[in-house]
Structure 1
């Protein structure tokens, strides 16, 4: 894992909910309620916040954050990203990794062709996708490739220490 001082965005503060400082929460964690397993939250204003209470509200979540006592207070933190320190994330097994760990890794084919560097990782609903920025002198004229992150079919291995992802992929695509 990278430096412990790195911050990770795990959600976003939504609109105020009521008049007593409650806010809607947009969670980016695997299970929406999982966002409340992390404390403290560091909001986009750089300050640390503790969660006083939270509950489901329909298909969404609402929370009462300590020292946010009114609707005006809730308005001031609306739309701020919710960060935690990277060292708050659970330790992963040998063959597991966070998307953030894949960003910046070199992507090479099983034949040794260098496709470029992972610029981003995102989910399409069907599977995760690697956005690979091609090298400036790509022989196939590619500037960027989108590769499905599907083990055994496309992704053959991920070498975390060497920062290399090996894929079975035709460089012409």
Structure 2
């Protein structure tokens, strides 16, 4: 493989994954984890980690079915492209656009504490899920009687009352589960 590297990502952020090779000329499929799939091409440079960080230079890309195929500088055949299969595509966090006040990226609210409007601690955010109707906040449950995660609809103002980035705290209109006596 002919990719040169002297850089590493600063605050690595996962934005996609390499899939299988495509054709014999070194093209490879990728899967975008960005909200708008094509936005993955707005964030460069890309990096991957395989024993060491390697910087990737995308020379060309095309939409192909439900994903994309890319041609990477230094990858000129199917065998070289195959070496990237299943590797994560990472960027430096600072390449993301600057946010306005009261805006945040999903990855920023992972590990935020969640309390309800009665100030009962519900747990920490472990993930978010995008669904057709609304996003879902997944909170690790802290109750001793039930270790199941809490799924809270991410509906701002109605259920998600406040996201405080200074205290890494989310306040929700949500009743915690009360144990039966």
TM-score (normalizing by structure 1): 0.90
Task: Please give the alpha-carbon distance, in whole angstroms, between the structure 1 residues aligned to 2:96 and 2:166.
Answer: 19
- Within the alignment, does 1:79 sit opposite 2:86 as a pair? yes
Question: Following TM superposition, by how much is the alpha carbon of 1:164 offset from its aligned partner in structure 2, in angstroms?
Answer: 0.7
Structure 2 unaligned regions, length at least 5: 1-8
**How many pairs does the alignment contain?**
167
Question: Following TM superposition, by how much is the alpha carbon of 1:134 offset from its aligned partner in structure 2, in angstroms?
Answer: 2.4
Give secondary structure in 2 for the equivalent of 1:118: strand
Task: Please give the alpha-carbon distance, in whole angstroms, between the structure 2 residues aligned to 1:130 and 1:56.
Answer: 30
Task: Please give the alpha-carbon distance, in whole angstroms, between the structure 2 residues aligned to 1:104 and 1:169.
Answer: 18
TM-score (normalizing by structure 2): 0.86
Question: Following TM superposition, by how much is the alpha carbon of 1:112 offset from its aligned partner in structure 2, in angstroms?
Answer: 1.1
Q: Of the candidates 58, 64, 68, which is equivalent to residue 61 of structure 1? A: 68
Task: Please give the alpha-carbon distance, in whole angstroms, between the structure 1 residues aligned to 2:29 and 2:82.
Answer: 11
Q: More deviation in 54-63 or 40-49?
A: 54-63
Q: Of the candidates 132, 135, 145, which is equivalent to residue 150 of structure 2? A: 145
Q: Of the candidates 149, 165, 177, which is equivalent to residue 172 of structure 1? A: 177
- Within the alignment, does 1:115 sit opposite 2:119 as a pair? no
Give secondary structure in 2 for the equivalent of 1:55: strand
Question: Following TM superposition, by how much is the alpha carbon of 1:118 offset from its aligned partner in structure 2, in angstroms?
Answer: 1.0
Task: Please give the alpha-carbon distance, in whole angstroms, between the structure 2 residues aligned to 1:142 and 1:98.
Answer: 29
Q: More deviation in 36-45 or 18-27?
A: 36-45
Question: Following TM superposition, by how much is the alpha carbon of 1:142 offset from its aligned partner in structure 2, in angstroms?
Answer: 3.5
Structure 1 unaligned regions, length at least 5: none
Q: Of the candidates 23, 40, 53, which is equivalent to residue 45 of structure 2? A: 40
Task: Please give the alpha-carbon distance, in whole angstroms, between the structure 2 residues aligned to 1:118 and 1:146.
Answer: 10
- Within the alignment, does 1:102 sit opposite 2:109 as a pair? yes
Give secondary structure in 2 for the equivalent of 1:77: coil
**Corresponding position of 2:6:** none
Task: Please give the alpha-carbon distance, in whole angstroms, between the structure 2 residues aligned to 1:168 and 1:33.
Answer: 34
Give secondary structure in 1 for the equivalent of 2:74: coil
